[in-house]
Structure 1
């Protein structure tokens, strides 16, 4: 499994990043959504709360960039002068989705699947909050990463593909600490981050009715084993859309050392009525 992108400096990835992004004991699938030209994948189930031209020294001052507030979940969106999304930052979450150069993450076998994306998912030093675009910590962070090609969370995950050092247990969980719960069930039920698809139960009747609030970097949680006795037993991370328009997630796969986008049973998809789509129960933005 490899990403078709030039080698870039690899900053130290915190335990939080690795645990949350690579600590996946599930599988991967993402759902088909429309893209708004080139840039961050647009979230469609949302209404505009307000929009303001960049002010007060915020990064939106230059180049005609503008900040907007959206709901479901509450978040700030930065658009350029042509209306293209440059960044999506969700209240209460540390992961930010930025626009960057296109990359392809693919797996030639056995699933023969992959995703080409301009989404770069990065970890902010603090959880996002309304108005943070004017704060010093964010302006400094954004100035560093807005055009950066340093490894992001996707790149960190794919470094743990097949053949990576054995830092994972049998379920594909990286032993990296970071203060997050160890199991998929505990992470899903924790107060960390923002519930994008709230957990209402683990039975088949509790499958989310719509998943168009998901965006790249979101963690998705599954009940794949009926013997789990009311617990969520797998976790993955939304990756993006494949060439056929299916939303894929990346996750651990039994029998391989590291994350994958598919297995002997097919590609890890969140849309449709496949095995993983039917097992989806909730999602968080951490």
Structure 2
């Protein structure tokens, strides 16, 4: 059953039309690192049948990137200069929340992270084709699969120490009557474990916030805890993804795709699945970012759809609960979009 107030449904709400394997996920409690065992990888060299050794790299601009194409010219992968995020062609799958309004996203795009930021000179590095050999056609869970693990009704999964690392996430604990929603719910609050960051800073979860993740906490849960992107405990510029949406937008890592000009960006065609989207929802005078989401791609009606954790939906959703999860329909979130980055 769902942990969210007023949203108790049976799982089965997000369809992934493909058999999915898994990877080992590092879980840190204090100074200890534990690996959560998953199913083995199922990798293929190229869905098109072209040997990886024969794939070609082509340079593109806006943003500067290297695309990998097969003998027929089909794009199989995109590496963006200065980013670790890679999109790969893979088996088709569908993401949906049919218990809520909103169109499904059916896609062949899989989103994974490189060990380091992409440099165009890496095209000739031996490790690149080895990496492609491993990941083209792989059905190991990717960034989008990780995100769906926290939607309404998502089933729980626990490790050997009974730490829940998957399952329905709420936005935050119920606020006192007449008070605004309680925020500042980070990924370690969801997990309910102490967390030691790379700089030695230690954070302890608030038991009241167990199972919750606000918008930036959800992004850190998906990209940091699950996908392995470095995290920092503060909102300062540093070697990882900072805590709040505003800091992610202003000083966080990644390649800017849509700069914040104070208005609504229109060049949505530069986006690819996995990109971070930043919004100004409260429309304050300073006009600063206060919400972050993960772009999913085009839905069945052609709309640009995203997933994010938000108050009115009481947690992560890609549906149209408490506002449409779209960037181009003139709705609440569409009017509030300000910028985008690629990690």
What TM-score do the two structures reach when normalised by structure 1?
0.76
Closer/same/farther in 2, CA of residues 3 and 253 from structure 1, 3 Å limit: farther
Structural mapping, 1:184-263, within 5 Å: 184-201=245-262, 206-227=263-284, 229-254=286-311, 256=313, 258-263=315-320
**Are residue 125 (structure 1) and residue 141 (structure 2) matched?**
no
Cα distance in 2 for residues equivalent to 1:186 and 1:123: 21
Partner Cα separation in structure 1 for residue 86 and residue 144 of structure 2 = 12
Kept in 1, the 8 Å contact 2:84–2:118? The answer is yes
| Aligned-residue offset at 1:122 | 0.5
Deviation at residue 229 of structure 1 after TM alignment? 4.3
Higher relative contact order (CA 8 A, sep 6+): 1
- Report SS of the residue matched to 1:107: coil
Match of 1:11 among 23, 30, 33: 23
Contact 1:67 1:78 in 2 (8 A): yes
1:272 and 2:322 aligned:
no
Give 1:133 deviation, angstroms: 2.3
2:171 counterpart of 1:171: no
Distance 2:168 2:295 in 1: 23
- Asked if 1:2 corresponds to 2:17, the answer is no
Question: 2:334, 2:289 → 1: CA distance?
Answer: 14
* Residue matched to 1:68: 58
Q: What SS does structure 2 have at the residue aligned with 1:138?
A: helix
Alignment check: 8 A CA contact 1:160 1:257 kept: no
Across the aligned residues of Structure 1 and Structure 2, the Cα RMSD in angstroms comes to 2.5
Query: Once the 2 structures are TM-superposed, how far is the Cα of residue 109 of structure 1 from its aligned partner?
Result: 2.3
Q: Where does residue 91 of structure 2 map in the other structure?
A: 101
Does the 8 Å contact 2:111/2:273 carry over to 1? Answer: yes
Q: CA deviation at 1:13?
A: 4.7
Aligned-pair distance for 1:258?
Answer: 4.0
CA distance in 2 between partners of 1:261 and 1:67 (Å): 33
What displacement does 1:227 show?
4.2
For the Cα contact (< 8 Å) 1:113–1:267, is it kept in 2? no
- Separation (CA, whole Å) in 2 of partners of 1:13 and 1:95: 18
SS in 2 for 1:89: strand
Aligned-pair CA distance for 1:3: 3.0
Contact residue 14 and residue 178 of structure 1 kept, 8 A: no
Q: Are the aligned partners of 1:60 and 1:78 in contact in 2 as well (CA < 8 Å)?
A: no
**Closer/same/farther in 2, CA of residues 108 and 228 from structure 1, 3 Å limit:** farther
Is 1:111 the counterpart of 2:154? The answer is no
Q: What 5-or-longer segments of structure 2 have no aligned partner?
A: 1-12, 28-46, 154-166, 170-189, 191-210, 233-240
Q: Deviations over 1:218-257 (max 9, x none)?
A: 1110001124843211111110111111111111132556
| Shift in Å, 1:215 | 1.2
What's the CA shift for 1:182?
Answer: 0.8
Structure 1: 5+ residue stretches without partners: 16-38, 40-53
1:18 alignment partner in structure 2 = none
How many pairs were matched up? 239
- CA deviations on 1:189-239 (whole Å, 9 max, x unpaired) are 1251100001233xxxx2213221111111110001124843211111110
Give the direction of change, closer, same or farther, for the CA distance of 1:232–1:14 in structure 2 (3 Å limit): farther
Distance across 1 between alignment mates of 2:26 and 2:337:
27
TM-score, normalisation: structure 2: 0.64
The structure with more radius of gyration: 2
